[in-house]
Structure 1
Amino acid sequence: MAPLDGQEKDVQLRGQWYRGGTSKCWLFDAGDVARHAATRSDVLKLLADAFGASDSRQLDGVGGGTSTTSKAAVITATPDGPADLDYLFAQVGIGQATVELGSNCGNCATAIALYAVQNGIVAAGDVATRVTMRNLNTEAVLSGTVATPRRRVPTSGQARVPGSTAPGVPVRLSFHAPWGQTTGALLPTGSASDPLPLAGGAAPAVTMVDAGAPAVFAPAVDLGVDLRAMTAPLDDRMPELLELRAAAGLAMGLRSADDPPQHAIPKVGLVAPPAPYTAADGSHIAADTHDLRVRMLSMFAPHPAIGLTSAVAVSTAATIPGSLVARSLRPSPNAEGTRRLRIGTPAGVVTTEVVTDADGAVVEVVLDRAARQLAVAQIEVARTVA
């Protein structure tokens, strides 16, 4: 059938759908994408069309209609490069035909590590297979280790993570030297704590870091948010939180005053000291099970758990004396070596391993995650002419 007036011929794009941690990500081979999109702007339009991004329900595309399920990565094998593969991470818009490339996603990186083993980008080892990945958005280097006993490529597993009851293949994900990759500095403003002026005269104290992803943290109590119930609606606080993100983006140099605010970065987090709270599934989380409480935003809504790049930002900020994250922590020595940080989130307690050097600088943040392939598909992308 000939294309209708005002419409180009539909595109068939091969993709693989994965769950990584608490996100779902469509993964695409760069060669397949290049057959339909010659430039970076063409790639963004292709992804927006494939996901049906212009509709808030993403009804005519493969998007999931939420920020944690509207994600994609374009992957290039790089056997002679600094990593086994490069990937471009895309946060696809919901209700807007936009795609943001300003960040990274650890949950998608978890999925990419499994994808690399299952698709032969990295040959399976005798016991475990380590996949190194370079994120092209930020130049961050990550590694994911997948168990491959007797060189068996896993298709299922029993690993679970807070925020999902479904099991998956265990993946141990490491962020290497995870700071300064977007702005060039761990503390983009040079300070561990800054007042951030907002409209109406309020100027809450915040900590702005670039670690894993650019992030801004504020005490929950200062913004009138009670973290005893992690699923309480934030509708009445959302305008102020979005304004906080926009102001922090300016202060961190992520955009100029003439640029529209970004929605994916900086990440916005509300922090509080450890205390009993109720998780999203109704379970009671005791105060002695975690070292601090955190509730993050994801685009325009509260995150149901915590993104991995946000967990890296929290973990790194926790090592900075005077940061608002460190002030919320249960007292703990900040010695050289490996330290476990237990983060109370709406989905439960997420644990990171924070490796520091003799000066207390973070050299690695490690998390245990799970991933699973959901589908291999030929996506019929309806391409419309504006």
Structure 2
Amino acid sequence: MAHVPQIRIPATYMRGGTSKGVFFRLVDLPEAAQVPGEARDRLLMRVIGSPDPYQKQIDGMGGATSSTSKTVILSRSKSPDHDVDYLFGQVAIDKAFVDWSGNCGNLSAAVGPFAVANGLVDPARIPDNGVVEVRIWQVNIGKTIVCQVPITDGQVQETGDFELDGVTFPAAEVPVAFKDPADGEGAIFPTGNLVDDLEVPADVVEGGTLKATLINAGIPTVFVNAAELGYTGTELQEAINGDAEALARFETIRAHGAVKMGLIKDVAEAASRQHTPKVAFVAPPASYTSSSGKEVKPESIDLLVRALSMGKLHHAMMGTAAVAIASAAAIEGTLVNLAAGGGKRNAVTFGHPSGSLRVGAEASLTEGRWVIDEAVMSRSARVLMEGFVRIPGDSF
């Protein structure tokens, strides 16, 4: 029996922040995958190695975690105000779908360097030495991201001494600004409230209600208090990911939060929308030992945050969730703001499983509605491998 041979597709494997993904130029994809649809989704799933009932992605580029099961498609921007259009696809590990409902904040830091290195930015704007500002149109959520990409001798500088908790080795710093980061065109607080009483089944929490801040900034996120769930906020991955009951409880909270936010009509729909919303729990500062053995002292942070992505506790913090944290912290009265001690603030340092991260946001109240002008953080990015990925020619 004859078998269809493999095809090869130009691609770059990159780390951005605490995530990794396979980057493509739109023009390099097979014609059928250059437009949204089943062919594109099937191609990306085969590249990553999904769906995989073993949840290892051995036969693909994925790393069997939500942080490493990611794809990016880039093209010259159709907008004269932007350099590059950035489309992000979160590939499910054990299920056959690609979630296009949100952005990846960590990989956003790699988009600017990729765009410069792959001819998507006007060469006349790139200095011999210095920094080039890359304006990115985030297609999934229709928002602007600005990357400050360091340049040395006309090339992207990737090495440096910037350290990021959750990433083992230092690299060059890439500041990233998320402009007006409310997801889509909706309000930052979909319910109109800074804190809601979120109704959940009684087996999730005694009494059947949880205090929750439901925010649409960076990525839709459901924030709850750690103490209401019996946690301290100092938990590491194994404490949550090794507890099937805990994971099921968080997924139930996420599903009910999604309904409350108007993202889905029924909790049953949450299973096909795993990337959004995120669910996170917050607590006041406390000492703990991070996953790398680093001691995090309460005086070095403003609050504790633990967040789940694609059904598992994240090893550090998703970049888009960090935007949500910065935005919520900037608005007095949210659960995030209260965990940080309350009051007006334009930046916070939060503790996560791998260490800590400082993020900032500017919030303003305009005609009775909260607006986040921009949220900022520093990340790093690096090319890990470039060349071609190969997949069977009948994969899509």
TM-score (norm 2): 0.89
Question: What residue number does 1:166 align with?
Answer: 169
2:337 aligned residue: 326
1:186 aligns to 2:185 (yes or no): no
State the AA in 2 paired with 1:107: N
State yes or no: 1:217 paired with 2:223. Answer: yes
Structure 2 CA distance for aligned equivalents of residues 379 and 230 of structure 1: 34
- 1:58-92 residue CA offsets vs partner (Å, 9 max, x unmatched): 11111111110111110011275331010110001
* Partner of residue 250, structure 2: 241
Q: Secondary structure at the match of 1:204?
A: strand
Q: What is the alpha-carbon distance in structure 2 between the residues aligned to residue 28 and residue 344 of structure 1?
A: 33
Once the two structures are TM-superposed, the CA of residue 281 in structure 1 deviates from its matched residue by: 1.5
Residues 1:30 and 2:26 aligned together: yes
Encode CA deviations 1:342-380: one digit per residue, 9 max, x unaligned: 111111110012234586842111111111101113111
Considering only aligned residues, what root-mean-square deviation do their CA atoms show, in Å? Answer: 2.1
Match of 2:8 among 4, 8, 12: 12
Paired letter, 2:228: D
Q: Contact 1:19/1:111 (CA < 8 Å) preserved in 2?
A: yes
1-side partners of 2:201 and 2:248: how far apart?
11
Q: 1:79 to 1:197 in 2, by over 3 A?
A: closer
1:59-208 counterparts in 2 under 5 A?
A: 59-78=58-77, 80-122=79-121, 123=123, 124-125=126-127, 126-149=129-152, 151-179=154-182, 181-182=183-184, 184-200=186-202, 202-208=208-214
Which residue of 2 is the match for residue 254 of structure 1? Answer: 263
Looking at structure 1, the residues matched to 158 and 235 of structure 2 have their Cα atoms a distance apart, in angstroms, of 36
Q: Read off the aligned partner of 1:145 and give its amino acid letter.
A: Q
- Deviation, 1:319, is 2.2
Which secondary structure does the structure 1 equivalent of 2:326 belong to?
helix
Aligned counterparts of 1:210 and 1:111: Cα–Cα separation in 2: 23
Structure 2 letter corresponding to 1:52: G
1:382 and 2:392 aligned: yes
Which amino acid in 1 is paired with 2:230?
G
**Structure 2 residue identity aligned to 1:313:** A
Report the CA distance between 1:383 and its aligned residue.
5.1
After the TM superposition, which of the residue ranges 142-151 and 373-382 deviates more from structure 2? Answer: 142-151
Deviation at 1:153, TM superposition (A): 3.0
Pick closer, same or farther for the CA change 1:34–1:82 going to 2, 3 Å. Answer: farther
Q: Which letter does structure 2 place at the counterpart of 1:218? A: V
Structure 2 Cα separation of the partners of residues 383 and 58 of structure 1: 19
Q: How many residues align?
A: 377
Aligned mates of 1:385, 1:146 — CA distance in 2 = 36
Deviations 1:201-223 (A, max 9, x none): 62111110000000000000101
* TM-aligned CA deviation for residue 300 of structure 1: 1.7
In the other structure, the counterpart of 1:372 is 382
Q: Kindly indicate whether the alpha-carbon contact (under 8 Å) linking 1:25 and 1:111 is maintained by their aligned counterparts in 2.
A: no
**Aligned-pair identity (%):** 31
In the other structure, the counterpart of 1:58 is 57
- The 5 A counterparts of 1:277-316 are 277-316=288-327
Residues 16 and 382, structure 2, Cα contact 8 Å, conserved in 1? yes
Query: Structure 1 residues 17-26 or 125-134, which shifts more?
Result: 125-134
Structure 1 segment 329-348 matched on structure 2, within 5 A: 329-334=340-345, 339-348=346-355
The answer as to whether partners of 1:18 and 1:111 remain within 8 angstroms in 2 is: yes
**Contact 1:103 1:265 survives alignment (8 Å):** yes
Deviation at 1:117, TM superposition (A): 1.6
Partner SS state of residue 171, structure 2: strand
- Contact 2:199 2:209 (8 Å CA) reproduced: yes
CA distance in 2, matches of 1:347, 1:45: 33
Tell me the SS of whatever aligns to 1:237. Answer: helix
In structure 1, distance between residues paired with 2:382 and 2:246: 35
Aligned residue identity for 1:347: S
Q: Name 1:355's counterpart in structure 2.
A: 362
Contact 1:17 1:24 in 2 (8 A): yes
Q: Which amino acid aligns with 1:370?
A: S
TM value normalised by structure 1: 0.92
Distance 2:292 2:361 in 1: 28
CA distance in 2 between counterparts of 1:369 and 1:208 reads: 25
Instruction: Give the counterpart letter for 1:216 in structure 2.
Output: V
Q: Distance in 2 between matches of 1:214 and 1:264?
A: 10
Task: Flag the 1:357–1:300 CA change in 2: closer, same or farther, 3 A.
Answer: closer
Spell out, residue by residue over 1:229-274, the C-alpha distance to the aligned partner (whole angstroms, 9 max, x if none).
4345111311110001111111111122263432111011000011
CA positional deviation for 1:25: 1.2
Higher mean displacement: 282-291 or 74-83:
74-83
